[in-house]
A and B are shown apart, each in its own frame.
Chain A
Amino acid sequence: MGEAPAGSPVRSERTGDVAVVYAGDYLNKLSGERIERVCRERLREGCRALVVDFNETSMVNSIGVSILLGVIDAAERTSARLVFAGASGQAAQLFQLLGLTRHVTLAPDKQTALKLLSEFTDAGAANH
């Protein structure tokens, strides 16, 4: 179910413990902060996994990427899994160049990301 918190054009949806946050066309300071805020809200709500979907993102700048590092930190602190999905072209290139790929799992698209996470959450449930 898609939803956007009040005052934020960032779309997100939640299925159980997994939330999907959709990045827009351009990831810059403002849109990065909006994504960060939504991600933190989802984590506070108890989500154990996040997918940030970059399928619609054609351009990313370094400030936007630096803010994503904050999302990674937040996810790590809550032991939540984080997957960046659908990043291609310039965005993927920049993620790699700035070392994000060392800290976060990349998936070619949202479906693959969700599949990866379902394995993780299933495994996590089995461990409990």
Chain B
Amino acid sequence: MATDATQPGSGFRRILGRLTPENFVGRSDDLRALTDLALPAHETRGLIMLAAPAAGVSELLRQAYDRLFRQRGGATPIYFAWSRQDQTTATAVRRFLHTFLTQLVAHRRDDPALVHAPPPLRDLIDLAAPQDYEWIERLIEIFERTRDGQDERALVRLCLSAPHAAAARGARTVLLFDDVQQVEHLRGEAELGAEIAHAAAHAEVPFVLAGLRRRLLDVLNGGQSPHRFESFDTWHVEHLNDAEARTLVERLAFTHNVVVNEETRDLIVQQFAASPFYLSLFVQAAQREASALTSFLDCQQLYVDELFGGRIHRRLNAILEEIAPELSERRALIRLLQELAQSGNNKSPAEAWRKRLDVEPDELFRLLTGLHGHELASFNATYVELSTDTVWRDYLRASYRLQVAAEPRALVVAETLVETLKRAPQTMARHYRRETALGLRDLLARFNYQRVAASLLHADRFARMYRGTDPEEIALGLDAETDLIRLPQIVHVASAASFHPPILQVCDEERCAVAHGFDATPYTDANEIVWLAAEIEAKHEAGRAITEVWCDRLAQLAHSCHFKRVRLLLVASEGFSAEASELMNEREVFSSTRQQLELLTARLSPEQVEEQKAAAPDEFEMVIPMGGDAELIAAHTAEQIARRLEFQPEAINQIKTAVVEACINAAEYSLSPERKIYQRYRLESDKLIITVSSRGVLLPASANAAPTGDETNGRRGWGLKLIRDLMDEVEFERVDDGTRLRMTKYLRR
């Protein structure tokens, strides 16, 4: 798709990037890895970029292209996406050579328009810079001769050697190859994947070889040994994390004038599993349909539209068509996949697939490899396991009902909308539960033969020793304990569901973990041990009955998985009843509360705990109405918060006054239709940052500047001056939809 290269606010030309750089969120490390390849002294010859499906690797490469293009005088970026549309290897490599020379000439001439409107190959000779004219003409002549011959391999090698030839004449390039796995679909004698790998490994220019992580290496290796990539780094491109994804949605929504709120933003992020590709697509669809996304209904209506006829539908349709081009085979495949989805097991033998599809083993392998490559299913030699990806499952169900069961479209659409709406709160609940899980896997992974106070793993003992005790005293007590437990060294940790999927019926994936390790050296059978840990959900102390159920459940899990020596750990946020503790002591089961686990975590990796504290400061938010002396409520809140940080009384008064003045300012100097004042209090170790904002427009008297204090004979409008006197740092700014005052007070003990 062509780009809007002159979009206001982008600050520079976009050439291939579809997002403005400001909207390209969470990929700074990836971008740096790519652009660093252009540095003359860079040691890495290239990158193998293994991308998760819909992780946005194409946009990443395009953004890298744009950034490199702007670096005048540096290496020339060449972006090329391999495509099955070329059908044959010869067509693909011819298109590559044409693209290569076009982008080279465009960069040398600083003429990005050429990239979108490539002239005929021979015309590029006339457009070439004087220093390139001769070698480009010569290359094209050789190409034309080779093209007209019968030697496909020679043509492939000639085209792929173009970067090398250019470099030999002083035109250094960086090759950004996208969708490399697509070359396996091209017809031809030459094994193009292996040829690309050969060219990348032997050219004196950096190559980026990007593609689907489950297919790329197989395609490049072409069945040969992978030693040729020794000088390449491997780079993984995953989905964004939740915070980055939320930022992406907010920025895209702002850019595209789509109204979202926090609830819908979070739902969108969860539903699309933080995939930048889907998130961008969805917000753009909202813009196209002029849909506000302010309720779950708005979101799910648009989602269902996209699923049945929009870009989500087209993308997944295209993938299935690629995997099973024949309609009858595709229908059979959809039927099998949907039956697998409904089976509750998610897994079935590949042999059963062969019989049901009535295909030869080679064809079955091709189909399953296709599903595996796109991560729609996992194919592991004998079994096929369906992906749990929500969008894919929704698409599959809808396709089955429409194409296989031939149900009326209106019925399928209506029921899909109803189902997705019912699912939305569950999706969010699942997200909240995941966020609040104790992180058993992370904790177990830190076990490395440390010795810790035994009370940390005995909830009853801990309660006897430390209930009602200050944190400092607990820390001292733990340091002084002489009864210590030596933790094992954990070498592998995973969700219990990975070992025993039925456990998902009784607990979340995050809340039950299996950790393999050794409780002493050397690594022998005798020292091997498996820790099974589970988090019991209980509002209050966990009682004996539920504790017993969990003890049995974990014992059963150990038995099913044939674990020999095991150690069980049960965690309940508020601890265990006396009867439950007695049971666990009898069975030698370790037990902890949330507090104990936090203490244990702090002892195992104090640096990380400090980092987390620094990275996640306390924040409070409050909204008050304008007027009605509501600023007093704000002042009281500010006082309580300032006390938490142990500000001196005089400073607390200063903060209270500043908050009151800020609220009055917001009420007096804005035409706010909603009459609300938004406040955010952010506590950091050495300061309190208060942000007071309101929506609306500044009154004319202060439209061009903050109130200065000279109104009404000097006796009004003191507010901002006062705030500046009282606080250490003050920033007043007009924002998109109102004003914002940010005040900082440093702590002086």
| A→B interface (CB under 8 Å) | 26, 28, 59-63, 65-66, 69-70, 89-90, 93-94, 97-98
Cβ of B716: which chain A residues have Cβ within 8 Å of it? Answer: 62-63, 66
Q: How far is the CB of B655 from chain A (nearest CB, A)?
A: 10
B660, A93: Cβ atoms closer than 8 Å? no
Let me know if B712 is at the binding interface, CB within 8 A: yes
Of A26, A62, A69, A70, which one neighbours B661 at CB under 8 angstroms? A62
- Expressed in whole angstroms, the Cα–Cα distance for A98 and B631 within the complex equals 20
- Expressed in whole angstroms, the Cα–Cα distance for A97 and B724 within the complex equals 12
| Residues 647-660 of chain B, each 1 if its beta carbon lies under 8 Å from chain A, else 0 | 00110011011001
Cβ of B660: which chain A residues have Cβ within 8 Å of it? Answer: 59, 61
Cβ of A61: which chain B residues have Cβ within 8 Å of it? Answer: 631, 657, 660-661, 664
Let me know if B725 is at the binding interface, CB within 8 A: yes
Q: How far is the CB of B2 from chain A (nearest CB, A)?
A: 56
B632, A98: Cβ atoms closer than 8 Å? no
Let me know if B749 is at the binding interface, CB within 8 A: no
Interface range on chain B: under 10, 10 to 19, 20 to 34, or 35 or more? 20 to 34
Cβ of A28: which chain B residues have Cβ within 8 Å of it? Answer: 629
Let me know if B373 is at the binding interface, CB within 8 A: no
Cβ of A62: which chain B residues have Cβ within 8 Å of it? Answer: 661, 664, 716, 718-719, 722
- Expressed in whole angstroms, the Cα–Cα distance for A98 and B717 within the complex equals 12
A90, B664: Cβ atoms closer than 8 Å? no
Q: How far is the CB of B707 from chain A (nearest CB, A)?
A: 11
- Expressed in whole angstroms, the Cα–Cα distance for A93 and B651 within the complex equals 10
- Expressed in whole angstroms, the Cα–Cα distance for A4 and B654 within the complex equals 32
Let me know if B377 is at the binding interface, CB within 8 A: no
Nearest B-chain residue to A61, judged by Cβ:
B660
Let me know if B715 is at the binding interface, CB within 8 A: yes
A94, B715: Cβ atoms closer than 8 Å? no
Of A26, A65, A93, A98, which one neighbours B650 at CB under 8 angstroms? A93
Of A26, A69, A94, which one neighbours B657 at CB under 8 angstroms? A94
Known: A61-B660, A97-B722. 15 other contacts (CB 8 A): A28-B629, A59-B632, A59-B656, A61-B631, A61-B661, A62-B716, A62-B718, A69-B715, A70-B715, A89-B653, A90-B653, A93-B650, A93-B653, A97-B725, A97-B726
Q: How far is the CB of A62 from chain B (nearest CB, A)?
A: 4
5 A-B residue pairs with CB within 8 Å: A59-B632, A62-B664, A62-B716, A90-B653, A93-B657
Nearest B-chain residue to A93, judged by Cβ:
B653
Let me know if B635 is at the binding interface, CB within 8 A: yes
Nearest B-chain residue to A31, judged by Cβ:
B629
Cβ of B632: which chain A residues have Cβ within 8 Å of it? Answer: 26, 59
Would A66 and B653 be within 8 Å (CB), given that A26-B629, A59-B635 are in contact? Answer: no
Main secondary structure, interface of A, reads: helix
Looking at B631, B664, B715, which has the most chain A CB atoms within 10 Å of its CB? B715
Sorted nearest first, the 9 A-B pairs with minimum C-beta distance are A66-B715, A90-B653, A62-B718, A61-B660, A93-B653, A66-B716, A69-B715, A62-B722, A62-B719
- Expressed in whole angstroms, the Cα–Cα distance for A113 and B340 within the complex equals 89
- Expressed in whole angstroms, the Cα–Cα distance for A93 and B635 within the complex equals 15
- Expressed in whole angstroms, the Cα–Cα distance for A26 and B629 within the complex equals 9
Cβ of B629: which chain A residues have Cβ within 8 Å of it? Answer: 26, 28
Q: How far is the CB of B22 from chain A (nearest CB, A)?
A: 39
Q: How far is the CB of A25 from chain B (nearest CB, A)?
A: 8
- Expressed in whole angstroms, the Cα–Cα distance for A61 and B632 within the complex equals 10
- Expressed in whole angstroms, the Cα–Cα distance for A85 and B557 within the complex equals 76
Q: How far is the CB of B649 from chain A (nearest CB, A)?
A: 8
Of A26, A59, A66, A70, which one neighbours B718 at CB under 8 angstroms? A66
Looking at B661, B718, B725, which has the most chain A CB atoms within 10 Å of its CB? B718
A63, B657: Cβ atoms closer than 8 Å? no
Q: How far is the CB of A35 from chain B (nearest CB, A)?
A: 15
B718, A93: Cβ atoms closer than 8 Å? no
Identify which of residues 501-528 in chain B touch chain A, using a CB-to-CB cut-off of 8 Å: none
- Expressed in whole angstroms, the Cα–Cα distance for A59 and B653 within the complex equals 9
Cβ of A59: which chain B residues have Cβ within 8 Å of it? Answer: 632, 635, 656, 660
- Expressed in whole angstroms, the Cα–Cα distance for A89 and B652 within the complex equals 10
Nearest B-chain residue to A66, judged by Cβ:
B715
Nearest A-chain residue to B631, judged by Cβ:
A61
Nearest A-chain residue to B721, judged by Cβ:
A62
- Expressed in whole angstroms, the Cα–Cα distance for A63 and B665 within the complex equals 11
Would A90 and B656 be within 8 Å (CB), given that A59-B632, A62-B664, A66-B712 are in contact? Answer: yes
Cβ of B719: which chain A residues have Cβ within 8 Å of it? Answer: 62
Q: How far is the CB of B561 from chain A (nearest CB, A)?
A: 65
- Expressed in whole angstroms, the Cα–Cα distance for A64 and B99 within the complex equals 72
Cβ of A97: which chain B residues have Cβ within 8 Å of it? Answer: 722, 725-726
Cβ of A93: which chain B residues have Cβ within 8 Å of it? Answer: 650, 653-654, 657
Q: How far is the CB of A86 from chain B (nearest CB, A)?
A: 16
- Expressed in whole angstroms, the Cα–Cα distance for A97 and B726 within the complex equals 9
- Expressed in whole angstroms, the Cα–Cα distance for A61 and B650 within the complex equals 16
- Expressed in whole angstroms, the Cα–Cα distance for A70 and B657 within the complex equals 21
Nearest A-chain residue to B725, judged by Cβ:
A97
Cβ of A70: which chain B residues have Cβ within 8 Å of it? Answer: 715
Nearest A-chain residue to B726, judged by Cβ:
A97
Q: How far is the CB of B250 from chain A (nearest CB, A)?
A: 35
| Residues 616-651 of chain B, each 1 if its beta carbon lies under 8 Å from chain A, else 0 | 000000000000010110010000000000000110
- Expressed in whole angstroms, the Cα–Cα distance for A19 and B9 within the complex equals 64
A90, B657: Cβ atoms closer than 8 Å? yes
B722, A98: Cβ atoms closer than 8 Å? yes
Q: How far is the CB of B544 from chain A (nearest CB, A)?
A: 53
Looking at B649, B653, B725, which has the most chain A CB atoms within 10 Å of its CB? B653
- Expressed in whole angstroms, the Cα–Cα distance for A62 and B657 within the complex equals 9
Identify which of residues 578-597 in chain B touch chain A, using a CB-to-CB cut-off of 8 Å: none
Cβ of A63: which chain B residues have Cβ within 8 Å of it? Answer: 664, 716
- Expressed in whole angstroms, the Cα–Cα distance for A70 and B660 within the complex equals 22
Nearest A-chain residue to B719, judged by Cβ:
A62
Nearest B-chain residue to A69, judged by Cβ:
B715
Q: How far is the CB of B471 from chain A (nearest CB, A)?
A: 31
- Expressed in whole angstroms, the Cα–Cα distance for A97 and B718 within the complex equals 11
Nearest B-chain residue to A98, judged by Cβ:
B718
Nearest B-chain residue to A70, judged by Cβ:
B715
Q: How far is the CB of B196 from chain A (nearest CB, A)?
A: 71
Q: How far is the CB of B683 from chain A (nearest CB, A)?
A: 21
Cβ of A26: which chain B residues have Cβ within 8 Å of it? Answer: 629, 632
- Expressed in whole angstroms, the Cα–Cα distance for A90 and B715 within the complex equals 19
Q: How far is the CB of A23 from chain B (nearest CB, A)?
A: 14
- Expressed in whole angstroms, the Cα–Cα distance for A103 and B716 within the complex equals 17
Cβ of A66: which chain B residues have Cβ within 8 Å of it? Answer: 712, 715-716, 718
Nearest A-chain residue to B714, judged by Cβ:
A66
- Expressed in whole angstroms, the Cα–Cα distance for A91 and B741 within the complex equals 23
Identify which of residues 712-736 in chain B touch chain A, using a CB-to-CB cut-off of 8 Å: 712, 715-716, 718-719, 722, 725-726
- Expressed in whole angstroms, the Cα–Cα distance for A60 and B660 within the complex equals 9
Cβ of B649: which chain A residues have Cβ within 8 Å of it? Answer: 89
Nearest A-chain residue to B639, judged by Cβ:
A90
Nearest B-chain residue to A90, judged by Cβ:
B653
- Expressed in whole angstroms, the Cα–Cα distance for A97 and B653 within the complex equals 12
- Expressed in whole angstroms, the Cα–Cα distance for A60 and B718 within the complex equals 13
Q: How far is the CB of A72 from chain B (nearest CB, A)?
A: 11
Nearest A-chain residue to B660, judged by Cβ:
A61
